Homo-oligomer: A and B are copies of this chain.
Amino acid sequence: MPNPTAAILVIGDEILSGRTREGNAHFLAQELARVGVDLREIRVVPDDHAAIVAAVNALRAGHDHLFTSGGIGPTHDDITADAVAAAFGAAIGVRDDARALMAAHYDKRGVEFNESRMRMARIPDGADLIDNPVSIAPGFTIGNVHVMAGVPQVFQAMVASVLPRITGGRPLLSQSLRVMRPEGEVAGRLGELAAAHPGVSMGSYPFVQDGAYGTNLVVRGPEAEAVSAAMTALADAFGGPA
């Protein structure tokens, strides 16, 4: 059975303006590889209702899971929850269980549960809450879409909450070989070896170090034996231990 597929949608003007370097997608990419979910696409769109709705509908249709990051805080530019509800044609309003969680949290800390914070209890009808042990205001899952916060600490906590719910496939295994030769010199033989090992994918990633050109060769696949056999062939061809 093929692994389940996924896409990530990052929502935020701060990424597109260059102010912030996105890191949540990289974190989740690593987690998904670990549990055997094939990440097929990442998109970043602005804090714009129509753009979010269009991206949610395109990506949830094409993949088994869609994970979103950003836009579920208390401010006027946090419009993700409403946009996801619109994408599903679902109603949205303050939900009692989310409000109760947050009220207890703020009460214990002596923090006012004001109107802005109440926005974070707005959840589309039919959604399940995603636990947020860091700052309590929850994410949610509706259909195959998992809506999470953009603050990295909170995003990571929500990923930890939601991933165990997802039935993954076989984790993607990888081995890499660092070769101090330019990519153009290994490309020919690498292509032959890739063709000879159809059970794995072989990638090559050139780098420059101290003015010298090198290449990282990476073998990926779900079967440990096939990955090891391919790496042995690479090491034989290009020297050096794997």
Q: Is the CB of B184 within 8 A of A220?
A: no
Q: Interface with B: A24-32, A85-93, A223-231, A232-240, which one?
A: A24-32
Q: Copy number of this protein in the oligomer? A: 2
B-chain residues with CB within 8 Å of residue A43 when the two chains form the complex: 41-44
B-chain residues with CB within 8 Å of residue A142 when the two chains form the complex: none
Q: How far is the CB of A148 from chain B (nearest CB, A)?
A: 14
Q: Is the CB of B44 within 8 A of A75?
A: no
Say whether A3 faces chain B, with CB atoms less than 8 Å apart: no
Q: Is the CB of A26 within 8 A of B22?
A: yes
A41-B45, A151-B207 given as contacts; is B75 within 8 A of A14 (CB)?
no
A 191-204 to B, binary, CB cutoff 8 A, 1 in contact else 0: 10011000001111
Q: Which residue of B lies closest to A189 (CB)?
A: B116
Secondary structure at the A interface, as helix, strand, loop or mixed, is mixed
B-chain residues with CB within 8 Å of residue A51 when the two chains form the complex: 40-41
A18-B30, A206-B151 given as contacts; is B40 within 8 A of A46 (CB)?
yes
Q: Is the CB of B17 within 8 A of A77?
A: no
Q: Is the CB of A117 within 8 A of B184?
A: yes
Q: Is the CB of B17 within 8 A of A39?
A: yes
Say whether A190 faces chain B, with CB atoms less than 8 Å apart: yes
Contact of A19 among B45, B115, B174 (CB under 8 A): B174
Q: Which residue of B lies closest to A193 (CB)?
A: B76
What CA separation (Å) do A16 and B75 show in the bound complex?
31
Q: How far is the CB of A48 from chain B (nearest CB, A)?
A: 9
Say whether A147 faces chain B, with CB atoms less than 8 Å apart: no
Q: A18-B26, A40-B46, A77-B203 are in contact. List 5 more A-B contacts (CB 8 A).
A: A13-B201, A16-B29, A18-B30, A42-B43, A43-B43
